[in-house]
Structure 1
Amino acid sequence: MSPDSKFRLPTNVKPTHYDLVVRTDLEKLTFDGSVTVSLDVKEETKTIVMNSSKLNLGQAIAYSDASKSELTSSESSFDEKEKRVSFTFPTSFAAGSKVKLTVGFSGELTGSMTGYYRSSFEEDGKTKYYSLTQFEATDARSAFPCWDEPALKATYAVTMVSRADTVNISNMPITSEKPFSPNDHTDIKTVFADINEEWKVTKFETTPLMSSYLVAFANGPFVYLESSAKMPLSGRTIPLRIYATKDLIHQAQFALDVKAKVLPMYEQVFEVEYPLPKLDTLVATDFDAGAMENWGLITGRTSALLLDPKKGDIAAKKRVVVVQSHEVAHMWFGNITTMEWWDYLYLNEGMSLRGLIQTPRAFPEFKPNSEFISSHLNRALSLDSKLSSHPIEVACPNAESIGQIFDGLSYSKAASVLRMLSAYVGEDKFLKGVSLYLKAHLFANSVTEDLWAGISKATGTDIISFMDNWVKKIGFPVVTVTEIPEGIKVRQDRFLETGLAEGKDNETIWNIPLSILTVDANGKPTVDKAAVLDTREKTFTLDTSKPYKLNAGTNGVYRVRYEDAHLSKIATEVAKPDSVFSVEDRMGLINDALALSKAGLLKLSNALTLINALRNEQEYLVWDGISGNLSSTAGVWWEDKNIRDLLNAFRVSLFLPFVKKLGYEYPASDTPDISQLRTCAIEQCLAAKDQSVIDTLKGRFAEYMKSGDDSGIPADLQRATYRAAVKAIYQKAPTPTARIAAMLAMCQSQDQTILDETFNIALTDARDQDVVYFIMSFAGNDITKRQVTKFFEKNYDGLVDRFASTFMMRHLVEVTYSSLSTQKDLDEMNAFFKDKDTSRYHMGLAQSADSIRAKIAYIEHSSSDVLQWLQAWKQGK
C-alpha cells in the first residue's frame, strides 16, 4: 500500500502527542472538548489535514515553535466521503519545525455503538445511560479530530470532565481527580466557558506510543471488582479491575479471574513485559463486536464477559475464557506491536487467537488446542472454500473494505496457518521467533515479512518463502492420496465447496506439511513431520497395509481425500477403543469427509458410514464435530421430507443413547467433557425432533412457569429447554446467556402468531447488538427460513440506516441468505440487491451466493445416494 494513496492522510506533518480534554454530559447525551496535537512538520505546508467525522469543529489554532506565534486557520474544508478536515493557515510552517494544533469539538452521544457513544441500562424502572468508546477500525475520528491511521502512533494524555457523581476510566491510571475549581483548573475553564462546580476533572497518566483506534475512555455510574497479577519478568504487581453497572457486577468475577491468570502467562511466553501500570475491563450492555482490546481498558458485551456465579453453563464459561484471553493477548499483538495498515489485520487477530492455544496451562479442562479444530480451523476452511473468499493479507484501501475483513479469514484462517507453522517448526522455536518479532517492533508497526523474519531467525528456516502463499493467495488445498506399490502418491489442488478448482483458480502451489502418521512394527504411531508437498505431485514410501493418515493432529490447513478402500480401513480403525488416531485426528477425519462429500469428491454415504462407525466414541469434541456436521447436512435437505425424516432418525440413534445414559442433571462432579456431551446429545435430539426429549424439556419448563423456580433447568440446558417450550421470557432473563437463549427460542416457534410477534420484537424492541441473534435463529427455523428474507428486504432501508457505522450489516446479509438452497432463492436474492449499494457488505453477499450454489449442487449430486444409504441403514438397524 503506497503511503500517498488517495485514501491515506498526507505525510507533510506527523503527530507525536495528543492532549485530549473531553466533557461528557449524560443528561443531555452530548460531549464536547478540545484536542491539542503536537506535530512534527515533515514538509513545508500551509494546510494540515486530519480525520474527523460527525463532529462540530471550531477553528484550528496552531502555535509554531519556529515563529513563536499563534495562527488561526483562515479557511477549512470537509471531505465527507473520506472523513477528513483540512485547515489552511495564513502562512506556511517550515519543514523541521514543530507545531501545536488545537481544535475544539462537540458531538452527540448516540446509540451507534461506534465512536464515543451511549449505552443504556434499566435502574428502578427507568432507562439510564453511560458512555464508552469503540474506535476500531476508523472511529476515533468521530470522538475527536485526529490522525486516525494505525501507523501514526503517538502518546495521549486524556482529561475527562464529567458530572461529580459519575466514574471516569481510560487507558491509563488516574493521576488526579477533584471537583472543578476556577482556581485549580484554569486550563479547563478556557475550554469550557460554562463550567461550574457541579463537574469534576479527572486526569490520566500519559500513554505509551499507541495507535488512535486503541484510545479508550468511558463515563458512567460504574462499580468494580478488583484483583492483581504478579508479573514474572518485571516482578511488578499489576492492579486489575472489571467495571460494570451495579446490577451486573456480581456476574463479573470470573472474567476478572481469567484476566489475572492469563496476563502473567502471556508475559512469560512472549518474553516481553506488559508495559502499562494497570489493566481494566468494562462490561457494556450495548456493543457491536464481541470485545475490544483497548490498551489498559478492554471493553466487551455482556454475553462475552459475564457469568452467573451460581448458574454458569460450560459454554458461557468457555466464551468468557476465550474472549478475555484473546483480548489480553492483544496487549502484545496489536497494542505493543501494531499492523502497519489494515491489510495486515491478521497480524493482530490471528496472532491473538493463536495465543489462545497457550491457555491449556491456565484452563486445561477446556482442551483449547483440540477445540480449535471446530472453533476455528473448520470455520476457516468452510469460508475459504468459496470462490468469493479472499487472502488472509488483503488490500484495504478504504473504510468500506476495512469493515469487511473482520471475518473468519483474518481471524480463524490466520490463526490456523500460524498453528500449522508452529506444529511444523516446533512450538518452542515458533514462540521464540514470535518473541524476536515483538522485541524488534516494540511500540512500532509491522508487516507480514517482519513476523516471518523473527521466526526464520529462531528456526534457521526460510519461513518467508514457505509461508508466502498461505497468507497472500486465496484458498487452500485438498491433498488427494492414491496408493501405489511403493507407498502413496499425493497431489494438491485448490479445494472449493463445489469441487476441485480448475484453470486460473488452481494455479497456487502451497508448501504443505503433510505430517504423515504411520504405525511401526510394535503398533505404535509415529509421525513424519519433515514430509512436505511443495510441488503439484510427489510420492512417499510407506507400508499401506498398516493404518496411516496424513495431517496427523489436524494441524494443517487443508483437506485430505483418500480412496474409498482406504477410507473404509480408516473407519475400521477409528472404531477401535485403542485406535492409533487421536481425538484431533478423528475430528479432522469427520470434517474432511463431510466437506468432501459436499464438494462431490466423496459419496455422502461414505461419510455417514464413517460417522456410523464412531457410535462407541466417548470424546465430547468428536461428537461436537459430528453434531455440527449433521446439523449442516440436515439444513441442506430441509425441504425433502423423506431424507430429512430419515436423517433425523439417524441423528437420534446416535445421540439418544447418551441422553439415556447421562440424563438431564449436571452434578458438580462432572468433568466439562461430560457436561458438554450431555448438552450436545440433548440439543441434537431436540433438533432432530425426538418426542421423548421434547416432552421432558417442556415438562421442566412448565414447572418453571408454574412455580417461578428455574432450578429444574440447568444452565447448560437453557437454550434447549426454551426452544422446546417457547415463552417470551426474553425481557426478564436473569443472565446474558438466558437472554440469548430466549431470543433464539422465540424464533424457533412453530406458531405463526408467536413468530409474527417475534419479528416485531426484533425490529422494534431488540437492542442493536442483538438483532443478528433473531435473524440467525429465524434462518435456522424451517418455517421462517424464507420469511426472514422477506422481513430483511421489507425493512432493508431502516436496517441500513440503523447499522450504518457498524460491522453488523455484513453479518445480517450472511445469516439471512446463506441457509437458502434453491436456484429461485438465488435469483430472487440477486434481483433484490441488483440496484443496492453493496459496497459495505459485497464480500458477505458474494459468500452467501456461493453458499446457495453449493447447496444446490449438493442436493443434485447426493440426494439419491444419501436416501439409499439412510433407507438401508433403517432396514438394517
Structure 2
Amino acid sequence: MFQKKWIQSAVLLAAVLMATVAGAQARFDFKSTPGLLSKDIRPSHYRLHFDLDPASDEFSASATISLKFNRASPDITLHADDLEATQVILAADQSGRAARTLRVEKNPTTQTWRLIPQDGRSIPAGRYTLTLQYSGRVHKTDAGLYRAPYKYQGQSRNMLATQLEAVFARKLFPAFDEPAFRSVFEVSIKAPSAYDVYANMPVRSIQDQGVQRLHTFWSTPSMPSYLVALTVGQFDTLQGQSGRVSLRILTAPGKQAQAAYAMEVTQKILPFYKSYFGIDYALPKLDQLAVPSTRGGAMEDWGLISYAETSLLFDPNNSAVRRRRQVFSTVAHEVAHQWFGNLVTAASWEEIWLNEAFATWMAEKATDHFNPEWQVPLRRRQPIDKAMTKDASSATRSIRSGAIEEDRVFDVFDEITYTKGGAVLSMIEGWLGPEVFQKGLAAYMQHRRFSNATAGDLWFHMGQAAGRDVARVARSWTDQKGFPVLQVNARCEAGRTRLQVQQQRFASDAQAVDNSVWQIPFIVSHNGKAHRLVLTQPRQEFVWSGCSQSQPLVNAGGQGFYRVQYAPEMYAAIVKEFTSLSPTARITLLSDSFALVQTGQLTLSSYWNLLAQLSAVQGAGRATLLDLARNSLNFLDAVYAQTPAQAALRLRARQLLVPELKALGWSVKAGESSETQLLRSGLIGSLGQWGDEAVLIQAESLFNQHADGKYPLQPEIRDAVMHSAGVGADAANHARLIQLLISANSEEDRWRYAEAVAAVKDPALARQALELSLRGVLPNNVASRIPHMVSEKGTHSAMAYQFVMDHFAAFAELSGEMFGASSWLVPGAASGFNTEEQASQLLADQKQKAGDKGAKTAAQVAAQISLRAVLRKREPSP
C-alpha cells in the first residue's frame, strides 16, 4: 500500500498545484473590510458615562459619539443589545443647524438599533455628535457588564467587571461594534464611594458627590470597542513598576499575596516584549484584575486585563506546579495581546488568528526564555496533538475561516485559531530563521500600529524582510483546512542519500480526504546535519551527499504542523533507535505513531511495542514522554469506555505506569524538578481514574487526613489526590467533597473540588453531582461545567447527557452566551460518548435545541466520537 501511494497522474498534479496557487491575501482596507455596518458613517470618539452599583441589577448610562458621514444617509445603524434608549439626539458640528431627535428601531436578530430622524429628513454628509441616554442590565455570566459574587470574612460581596469580546460591547454601550471601527474612548463612572473604580486608562479626577464618587479617566488611544474595560469593587492592590509603566494587580480582599508571582512574571515579560518588538508598551499603566467568580479564561483589554483567579493568582501553600506554569503562560499570552490585538488589531473576526495565534506563539517564546527547565518545546506537543486530532476530521476549518456571522463568532475561538495558528507561525519562523522573522514582525508592528491588519499585511512585511515569497507558503497553511502527512522513504545510492517525500491530507474520516497540497518547510536530521527543505509538490525527491546507518528523521525538532509516516522498514529501524533519539525526536515519533493508530495506518500492537521502550528512556524529556503516553492511554480509555475491553485496556495501562509511580513515590523530594512533580501528579490522577486499588486507597487516606486537618496535602499532589479520592468516594466522602466545593472561597479550590465531585464512579453519587449544578449554590461558570466533567470521564456519560437535555433551559441560563447554549452545552455533555449512534444523536439534538447555532462545534465533537467508534471497531481488543 505504501508504494502505491507514490503514483500520481500528471492531471491530478496540475490540478492540485493550481489549487495551491490561490489568490493573494488582500492588505487592510477599511472600506472593503467585511462587516454588517456601513463604512460611510465612521466614529472617531466616544464619551461614555456609567452610573454603576455592584448591588444593582441595572445601570444607567450615556454615550456621546463623534461621527463623520461621508455621504448623506437616511439613518444611522449601530450595535446595541439588551439596552433601552431613553433619548437619542443628533447635533451637527459647527453648522448652526438645530439638534434633531432620533427614534430607535430595534433589530434583535442583528443586535442593532436603526436611529431614524423623527423629522423624516435625511442626514447630510458632515460631522455630527450623537448623544444617547440609555439603561442596561448587569449580567450573571461573563458577557457585557457582569457581576462576580464572592465572600470575604463570611460576608457576601459583589464585584463588577466586563467582557466585551467579541460582540458584547453592544451590551454595555451603543457602538459600532466591529474591530475595524477604531475610536478613542473617554470614560467616566459614578459609583458608591465605598468602591474602587478602574478602567483602561489612569484616572484623571475623582469628585465626591454625596455618598457617591465620579471617576473620570484619561482618553484611550484609538482602539476597537471590544477592548473597553472597567471594574467596580473593593480590591486589595499589589503595586509594581516596569520602566515608566505603572503596574497593579487587583484582587478580592485577602488575596493580595497570591498576586506576587503574576507581578514577577509581568515585570519580566514587559521589557522582553519591548525589546523583541522594538516598540514600547503603549499606555502609562497596566492593571490586571483577578475576578473571583463568574468569568472564564482571561481578556486582554488594553491597560486593564481581567482573568479568572486560576489564571492570575498563585498560592504556594495551595497551588501545584501546574498552576504556576498556567499563570506564567496566561499572563504572557494576555500581555502579548497588548501588541497583538490592541496596538495592531485584526481587521475582522475572519482574521482573529492574527491576535490569538501570535499571542499563543509569543507566550511560548517568553515562557521558554525565562523557564528553560519547563521544556516548553516538548510540552507544546500535547496541545498540538489535540488541535491535530480536530483538524484531521472533515468537521474542521481553515485558520482564516472566511465569512463569519456574528452569532457564530465564538466558533473561531478554538484550537485551530490558537494552537494550530501558533504552531504554523513557529514552523514559518523555523523556515525563515528567528532573526528574519523578528525583523519582519517588527516592520509589521511599526507600520500597522494603532490600526488594523490582515494576513496580507503580515506576509507582505515578512516577505520584505526575507526577500522571498513568504505569502505563497503561508497561505497554504492559513487558507486551507487540515494538514498533511509526509510519507517518507529513503535509500542510499552511489554514496548519496535519496529521500522520497510525498504529501497528502492527513484524514481521520473518509469525508476529510481531498487533494490539497501544502508548501511545506521541513527539516531532515541525518548524520549530524540538518537539511532545511521545502516540499512544494505532491511528491518530490531530495538528494544529498553521504549515507549513514542511522535513518533520516523528518521533523525531529517537532516544529512542523504535520504528521510523518515512514516506510515500514524505516519505521522499524527508527523504533530500534528510540532510546538514543533526541528528546524532541522521541516525542514527535510517539505522537505521530499514535495518530497513525487512530487513523488505521499503524496497528495498536505496534504502538504498545513502542510504549514498552519508555521505561528505558532516561534524561531530559522523560517526564513529558510519559505524560504523552498517558494522554494516548486516556484516549484509548474513552474508546473502550462501557465495553468489556475497557478492563483489559486499564490493566495494561496500569502495568505500564504503576512502576513509574512507585519509583517516584507520593512525596515531593528536595531538589526534584518541576517536570518530575508534574509527572507524579499526572500518574496519580490517571491511575486513580483507571481504578488502581492501591492509588484509590492511598488517595482516600490522604484526603481524609487533609480534610480532618491532621496532615495537609502537599500542593504539588493536591489536585491529583482530590481527583482520585473523588473517583472512589463513598457517600460520606462524596458529601464531604460537595461541602468543600460549596464553601470554597477561591476559583482554584472550586474547580479542584468540582472535578473530584464529578469523577465519582458510583452512579447514584454521580446523579447527586449533576443535581448539585442546578441547586444555585455554585457560581454559574462552575455549575454549568459539571455535566461536561461528569460526561468526559466516560462512566456516566449517558446520564450526564440526558440530564442536560432534560434541563436545557436552566443550563442555557447558567452558561451564558459566549460558550453556552448555542455552542458547547450539548457537545460538552456528549464529550464521553464513543458510538456512531451517539454521534448522530448529538448532531440531531444540537439542531433541535439551538438550530444552526453551534452546529460546527457539535460536528467537531461528533467527529471525535466517530473516531473513537471506528478505532474500537478496527481494534476490538487493546
Provide the TM-score with structure 1 as the length reference.
0.91
**Counterpart of 1:275 in structure 2: which amino acid?**
A
Residue 170 (structure 1) aligned with residue 199 (structure 2)? yes
Deviation at 1:801, TM superposition (A): 3.8
Out of 144-153 and 284-293, give the one that drifted further.
284-293
Residue 558 of structure 1 corresponds to which residue in structure 2? Answer: 562
**Counterpart of 2:228 in structure 1: which amino acid?**
V
Please give the alpha-carbon distance, in whole angstroms, between the structure 2 residues aligned to 1:742 and 1:100.
Answer: 53
Residue 489 (structure 1) aligned with residue 496 (structure 2)? no
Please give the alpha-carbon distance, in whole angstroms, between the structure 2 residues aligned to 1:802 and 1:287.
Answer: 10
CA distances 1:430-488 after superposition (whole Å, capped 9, x unpaired): 11111111111010000011111111111112111111110011110011123456433
Please give the alpha-carbon distance, in whole angstroms, between the structure 2 residues aligned to 1:730 and 1:348.
Answer: 36
**Counterpart of 2:683 in structure 1: which amino acid?**
A
Residue 869 of structure 1 corresponds to which residue in structure 2? Answer: none
Residue 49 (structure 1) aligned with residue 77 (structure 2)? yes
Residue 608 of structure 2 corresponds to which residue in structure 1? Answer: 608
Q: Does the CA contact (< 8 Å) of 1:308 and 1:735 recur in 2?
A: no
Out of 443-452 and 849-858, give the one that drifted further.
849-858
Matches within 5 A, 1:271-350: 271-350=278-357
Residue 241 of structure 2 corresponds to which residue in structure 1? Answer: 228
Matches within 5 A, 1:76-95: 76-89=104-117, 90=119, 91-95=121-125
**Counterpart of 1:557 in structure 2: which amino acid?**
F
Q: Using a 3 Å threshold, how does the CA distance of structure 1 residues 836 and 754 change in structure 2: closer, same or farther? A: closer
Q: Does the CA contact (< 8 Å) of 2:794 and 2:832 recur in 1?
A: no
Deviation at 1:823, TM superposition (A): 2.8
Deviation at 1:318, TM superposition (A): 0.8
SS at match of 2:724: helix
Deviation at 1:850, TM superposition (A): 1.1
Please give the alpha-carbon distance, in whole angstroms, between the structure 1 residues aligned to 2:435 and 2:140.
Answer: 46
SS at match of 2:362: helix
Residue 718 of structure 2 corresponds to which residue in structure 1? Answer: 717
Residue 107 of structure 1 corresponds to which residue in structure 2? Answer: 136
SS at match of 1:133: strand
CA distances 1:647-677 after superposition (whole Å, capped 9, x unpaired): 2233223322222222111235221112112
Residue 678 (structure 1) aligned with residue 680 (structure 2)? yes
Provide the TM-score with structure 2 as the length reference.
0.91
Q: Using a 3 Å threshold, how does the CA distance of structure 1 residues 772 and 614 change in structure 2: closer, same or farther? A: farther
Residue 784 of structure 1 corresponds to which residue in structure 2? Answer: 796
Please give the alpha-carbon distance, in whole angstroms, between the structure 1 residues aligned to 2:536 and 2:75.
Answer: 53
Q: Does the CA contact (< 8 Å) of 1:652 and 1:684 recur in 2?
A: no
Matches within 5 A, 1:70-469: 70-89=98-117, 90=119, 91-95=121-125, 97-180=126-209, 197-230=210-243, 237-359=244-366, 360-375=368-383, 377-469=384-476
Q: Using a 3 Å threshold, how does the CA distance of structure 1 residues 118 and 311 change in structure 2: closer, same or farther? A: closer
**Counterpart of 1:459 in structure 2: which amino acid?**
A
Out of 465-474 and 109-118, give the one that drifted further.
109-118
Match of 1:761 among 744, 769, 772: 772
Residue 799 of structure 1 corresponds to which residue in structure 2? Answer: 811
How many residues align? The count is 826
Q: Does the CA contact (< 8 Å) of 2:684 and 2:720 recur in 1?
A: no
**Counterpart of 2:859 in structure 1: which amino acid?**
A
Q: Does the CA contact (< 8 Å) of 1:719 and 1:742 recur in 2?
A: no
Residue 825 (structure 1) aligned with residue 838 (structure 2)? yes
Q: Using a 3 Å threshold, how does the CA distance of structure 1 residues 465 and 831 change in structure 2: closer, same or farther? A: closer
Q: Using a 3 Å threshold, how does the CA distance of structure 1 residues 745 and 495 change in structure 2: closer, same or farther? A: same
Q: Does the CA contact (< 8 Å) of 2:162 and 2:230 recur in 1?
A: yes
Match of 1:849 among 856, 862, 865: 862
Match of 2:551 among 543, 547, 550: 547
**Counterpart of 2:189 in structure 1: which amino acid?**
M
**Counterpart of 1:841 in structure 2: which amino acid?**
G
Deviation at 1:384, TM superposition (A): 0.4
Please give the alpha-carbon distance, in whole angstroms, between the structure 1 residues aligned to 2:64 and 2:715.
Answer: 55
Please give the alpha-carbon distance, in whole angstroms, between the structure 2 residues aligned to 1:720 and 1:275.
Answer: 44
CA distances 1:569-608 after superposition (whole Å, capped 9, x unpaired): 2222112xxx2x3222211111111111110111111122
Q: Using a 3 Å threshold, how does the CA distance of structure 1 residues 584 and 813 change in structure 2: closer, same or farther? A: farther
Q: Does the CA contact (< 8 Å) of 1:665 and 1:714 recur in 2?
A: no
Deviation at 1:793, TM superposition (A): 1.1
SS at match of 1:17: strand
Please give the alpha-carbon distance, in whole angstroms, between the structure 1 residues aligned to 2:484 and 2:783.
Answer: 36
Residue 507 of structure 1 corresponds to which residue in structure 2? Answer: 515
Residue 646 of structure 2 corresponds to which residue in structure 1? Answer: 644
Please give the alpha-carbon distance, in whole angstroms, between the structure 2 residues aligned to 1:651 and 1:834.
Answer: 38
Deviation at 1:270, TM superposition (A): 1.1
Q: Does the CA contact (< 8 Å) of 2:705 and 2:712 recur in 1?
A: no
Deviation at 1:122, TM superposition (A): 1.6
Deviation at 1:500, TM superposition (A): 9.2
SS at match of 2:564: strand
Q: Does the CA contact (< 8 Å) of 1:498 and 1:600 recur in 2?
A: no
| Structure 2 gap segments, 5+ residues each | 1-25
Q: Does the CA contact (< 8 Å) of 1:651 and 1:684 recur in 2?
A: no
Residue 21 of structure 2 corresponds to which residue in structure 1? Answer: none
CA distances 1:798-824 after superposition (whole Å, capped 9, x unpaired): 223443522234233333224311233
Deviation at 1:4, TM superposition (A): 7.8
| Structure 1 gap segments, 5+ residues each | 181-196, 231-236, 520-524, 867-877
Matches within 5 A, 1:8-19: 8-19=36-47
Stretches of 4+ moved more than 6 A in 1? none
Structure with bigger RCO (C-alpha 8 Å, 6+ apart): 2
Deviation at 1:489, TM superposition (A): 1.9
**Counterpart of 1:583 in structure 2: which amino acid?**
P
CA distances 1:371-405 after superposition (whole Å, capped 9, x unpaired): 22213x21221110110101100124321221211
Residue 58 of structure 1 corresponds to which residue in structure 2? Answer: 86
SS at match of 1:555: coil
Please give the alpha-carbon distance, in whole angstroms, between the structure 2 residues aligned to 1:773 and 1:591.
Answer: 29
**Counterpart of 2:838 in structure 1: which amino acid?**
D
Q: Using a 3 Å threshold, how does the CA distance of structure 1 residues 6 and 84 change in structure 2: closer, same or farther? A: farther
Q: Does the CA contact (< 8 Å) of 1:719 and 1:738 recur in 2?
A: no
Deviation at 1:74, TM superposition (A): 4.3
Matches within 5 A, 1:512-551: 512-519=520-527, 525-529=528-532, 531-541=533-543, 543=547, 545-551=549-555
SS at match of 1:327: helix
Please give the alpha-carbon distance, in whole angstroms, between the structure 1 residues aligned to 2:296 and 2:403.
Answer: 20
**Counterpart of 1:665 in structure 2: which amino acid?**
S
Deviation at 1:538, TM superposition (A): 1.1
Residue 627 (structure 1) aligned with residue 630 (structure 2)? yes
Q: Does the CA contact (< 8 Å) of 1:314 and 1:716 recur in 2?
A: no
Residue 570 (structure 1) aligned with residue 574 (structure 2)? yes
Match of 2:757 among 742, 746, 749: 746
**Counterpart of 1:840 in structure 2: which amino acid?**
K
- Fraction of identical pairs, as percent: 25
Residue 48 of structure 2 corresponds to which residue in structure 1? Answer: 20
Q: Using a 3 Å threshold, how does the CA distance of structure 1 residues 798 and 77 change in structure 2: closer, same or farther? A: same
Q: Using a 3 Å threshold, how does the CA distance of structure 1 residues 59 and 644 change in structure 2: closer, same or farther? A: same
Out of 344-353 and 363-372, give the one that drifted further.
363-372
Deviation at 1:712, TM superposition (A): 3.5
Q: Does the CA contact (< 8 Å) of 1:481 and 1:561 recur in 2?
A: yes
CA distances 1:277-311 after superposition (whole Å, capped 9, x unpaired): 00001111234440000000000111111211323
Residue 596 of structure 2 corresponds to which residue in structure 1? Answer: 596
Q: Does the CA contact (< 8 Å) of 1:255 and 1:306 recur in 2?
A: yes
Deviation at 1:713, TM superposition (A): 4.2
- How much is the aligned-residue C-alpha RMSD, in angstroms? 2.1
